[in-house]
Structure 1
Amino acid sequence: MSLDYDLVIIGNSLEASYAAVKAAKLRARVALVLGETETNTYTEIDRSTFNCLTYLDKKGQNLTQWELNYDFVTHLNSSQIQTWITQVKQDIKEYYSPAILADLGIDIIGESGEFCRLPALGFVIKNRTLRSRNYLLAMGSISSIPKIEGLSELGYLTLETLDLENLPYDLIILSQTPIGIELAQSLNHLGKKVTLVVEDSNILPQEDAEAVQLIQAQLEAEGIKLLVNCPITQVRKIEDKKWIQAGNEALETDEIILITKPTPNIKGLNLEGVKVEVQPQQIIVNDKLQTTNPKIYACGSIIGGYSLSNLAKYEANIVIKNAIFYSIFQVNYHPLPFHIFTHPILSRVGLTETQARQSYGDDIIIIKQNYKTLAKAQILDETTGFCKIITRRNGIILGGHIIGNNSDELINFIALSIKNNIKIQQFSQLFPSYYTISEILFQISENWQYQKLQENKFLNNWLETLLFWRRRWKL
């Protein structure tokens, strides 16, 4: 039986469109199954746009407080933010519009379907079956709803149903992911009273401990009530108010927002019928991003981890090479940067300090430089933050953690250095321009070399002796 396609991609996400374009440019015959309705998900576009606008609004308020009399300083409202986010999403989606994809030779299918196993693996859409060498699942995830007494009867909001224009003043965010922290800060900057409830004992268990402490302190300094290690056991309504039992505390609020761990949006695909194993929060894949059915791949948020577009695109690249050519390429997340849209932004690449010590013991050097040493940070009054670089004793970079202004841009340089085995010593050869955040890498490199010099007693003695005799004999 002949095949119709080299790859059939199922999903209406940015990573699905990106994968389709990538495969088509490699001359593969591709079908993109979008489904009949667009999934309403809270994407990274929403997060980054909301973060940026509320950040600018907060800075505008600061300028007003400083009485600098900037005529352009005006405060945003929820309606303006919602309109701007919608417009940004529409503009970005234009790059992957059906017309542009069709011009590349991609078959766009706006219908839903399901997998079938017999007489051969295929994807059935009404009266048609799409036969392909391989398939890619890239449909994204949706919020999962926890089982809490009284929750379904009382009502709540999720990322998919969040309406900024109609949000009340007093809000409780029940968070299981970093998005909850981002949302809490952004809503707080819009003047909402926010209580952030985290079930775990750590608000960001996968991140650097010092960075987490700084973010937690920042949340509390901004007036956000933070409750950690507080499982939610009950939700009730008393006199037109919603009450939540969080650990030993009873909390009153106008509205509840659930930010839970996402679950794959796979309803109706018949994955169990084609032997694809699915757990509550993810589709199981191997290092080549194959599911338990080797002809079906998956990428993006549906395979777990942070919901970040650069990770999803990286995974899509691996899938395309494996699915179209030969399945020999494996994922390696170590040199991939990512960030969390907190204020200030937290960015990370590679190993944390704990992971580095577990893997390399005493064969590591950790250099930390605070943002307050930077002229640009002082001028912008954004001195909160630091950059921490973790290296081996020979200078090979194991990880980088930055929390502060422009950290989301700066982390890419460290990621490229890890990818290309550039050692920390080489940063001191850059001499970056004044009034740039990248000065902090130059400072870290020089501090690293000074620390190495201090540890080398032989070299210190040799330098001291050399300079003594040069002074003595005027050499």
Structure 2
Amino acid sequence: MEKIKTDLLVIGAGSGGLSVAAGAVQMGADVVLLEGHKMGGDCLNFGCVPSKALLASARVAHGQAHAAAFGVADQVPQIDFAKVKDHVAEVIAEIEPNDSVERFEGLGVRVISEYGQFLGPNEVQAGDHVIQARRIVIATGSSPLVPPIKGLETVPYDTNETLFENREQPEHLMIIGGGPIGMEMAQAHRRLGSEVTVIEGAKALGKDDPELAGFVLEALEAEGIAIEEDAIAAEIRGQAGAIEIETTDGRVFKGTHLLMAVGRKPNIERLDLDKAGIAAERGAIKVDDSLKTTNRKVYAIGDVAGGLQFTHVAGYHAGVIIRSALFGLPSKQKTSHIPWATYTDPELAQVGLTEAEARAAHGDRLEVVRFDLDHNDRLIAERKAKGLIKVMVVKGRPVGASIVGHQAGEHITLWSLAIANKLKMGQIAGMVAPYPTVAEIGKRAAGAYFSPRLFDSPRVKKVVGFVQRWLP
């Protein structure tokens, strides 16, 4: 048994863990990193990267079939599903070196390819190694949540951890779960030629603004995706190629393949948290605003800490705790400026408060600014001018923004910047965007905030009239 002493031990080599390890070692800390599965974690291997690669293939296929509006003949796409999955694998392989053991060892990190479990408050065992660390970061991420539905244990199904390995195209894919993962995979498989049914126990895309989510759901249904809401799966039966799902209200859906996409659960089972005095609540590690656990020498970041489950949140958490763990300085997380996006076509993005949340929080002080994307010239030129941006404004400052439309995930970043830095709408309006770009929608939304103040104000008109009479 090898005993190791280190400044910082990082458990988990997903987005957050890798960011902490890389940052800490380059600032002079001695760092040990544990990963018992794949470097890069869920995002690289089973989540963000492969799903966006699959969506890219689907977008190309859809473009071939819908080109006539541009003066190019429509073509029925010839899809080789196995080669689509080759494309997905190649994308992963191209990014993989950035997250590899070799790269991190080259930076000076001691990488141990084992899972870790606590032996005490500052001691962790990983295989034949016992590591004692001044500070420990838990970054073990999350796994697919598979609910205990009657009969599921006898029926073959996929989660995001197995879906991208399939090289045979599903004839009819049924997806339980109408959140971002479910809806992205629904559209990807439909555009690649599969029949798709989404079965959602509540409302599809239910965490987003319902008005904007409606744009996405309408588009997906127009492409032939069946979206069944308020449909709670009660029993699953059948076999590979012939699966039935019966819901609590007696509806029965039939398909050839099944994807479970109902959510995620934090990975805490292997850790033996009790031995380190680390508390958990609601299935995740309990942390305070500084991301410290109930053991003050241990931090938890990313999905395992509960809260928003996004790769970029884990990366953000890494920056928060490096200040504290390496320099002993106070540092706290906040969530008001954290954006998220669903990468369907059209995309759906949010930062800060939705309209409903803002109304509940701010009442009559709230102003909701709207700008329809069908007024953006670049989107008109590309025949993608369908969508909407809403900005929630209180006392001249944005407190939330919602966007649905082409590249919404790209354009929500402006509003994240504004909220993070407490910018005013006047500063957004002062921005100059090149013409014609989709980025103009941010400036136009800010302009919509000021338009009634300038163009519908008798006082402004009176002042302008007075100045004009006296100007030489």
Q: Same fold (TM over 0.5)?
A: yes
Partner of 1:122: 123
Partner of 2:412: 411
Partner of 1:155: 156
The one-letter code sitting in structure 1 at the alignment partner of 2:64 is: G
Match of 1:60 among 64, 79, 95: 64
Long gaps (5+) in structure 1: none
> Are 2:107 and 1:104 aligned?
yes
CA deviation vs aligned residue, 1:366-410 (integer Å, no higher than 9, x gap): 2111111111111111112111122123x2111111111122222
Partner of 2:26: 25
CA deviation after TM superposition for structure 1 residue 205, in Å: 2.9
Partner of 2:116: 113
CA deviation after TM superposition for structure 1 residue 232, in Å: 0.8
Deviates more, 1:191-200 or 1:35-44: 35-44
- The answer to whether the 8 A contact 1:288-1:327 is kept is no
Alpha-carbon RMSD = 2.6
Partner of 1:196: 198
Partner of 1:339: 341
Q: Distance in 1 between matches of 2:188 and 2:34?
A: 35
Match of 1:80 among 83, 86, 108: 83
The one-letter code sitting in structure 1 at the alignment partner of 2:36 is: G
- The answer to whether the 8 A contact 2:240-2:256 is kept is no
Correspondences of 1:98-247 after superposition (within 5 Å): 98-117=101-120, 121-162=122-163, 163-175=165-177, 177-200=179-202, 202-237=203-238, 241-247=242-248
Q: Distance in 2 between matches of 1:281 and 1:124?
A: 22
- The answer to whether the 8 A contact 1:47-1:341 is kept is no
Q: Secondary structure at the match of 1:411?
A: helix
Partner of 1:48: 52
Long gaps (5+) in structure 2: none
- The answer to whether the 8 A contact 2:58-2:191 is kept is yes
CA deviation after TM superposition for structure 1 residue 454, in Å: 5.5
Instruction: State the identity %.
Output: 25
Correspondences of 1:315-394 after superposition (within 5 Å): 315-326=317-328, 328-393=330-395
Partner of 1:10: 11
Q: Secondary structure at the match of 2:258?
A: strand
Q: Distance in 1 between matches of 2:140 and 2:314?
A: 11
Partner of 1:253: 255
Deviates more, 1:312-321 or 1:353-362: 353-362
Q: Distance in 2 between matches of 1:66 and 1:454?
A: 38
CA deviation vs aligned residue, 1:322-375 (integer Å, no higher than 9, x gap): 222326211112122221112111122121112222222222222111111111
Correspondences of 1:372-451 after superposition (within 5 Å): 372-393=374-395, 395-451=396-452
Deviates more, 1:416-425 or 1:135-144: 416-425
Q: Distance in 2 between matches of 1:330 and 1:285?
A: 11
Q: Distance in 1 between matches of 2:193 and 2:234?
A: 28
Deviates more, 1:237-246 or 1:134-143: 237-246
- Scaled by the length of structure 2, the TM-score of the pair is 0.91
- Scaled by the length of structure 1, the TM-score of the pair is 0.90
Q: Distance in 2 between matches of 1:99 and 1:238?
A: 43
- The answer to whether the 8 A contact 1:176-1:261 is kept is no
CA deviation vs aligned residue, 1:168-206 (integer Å, no higher than 9, x gap): 211210016321111111111111111111112x22333
Q: Distance in 2 between matches of 1:70 and 1:241?
A: 33
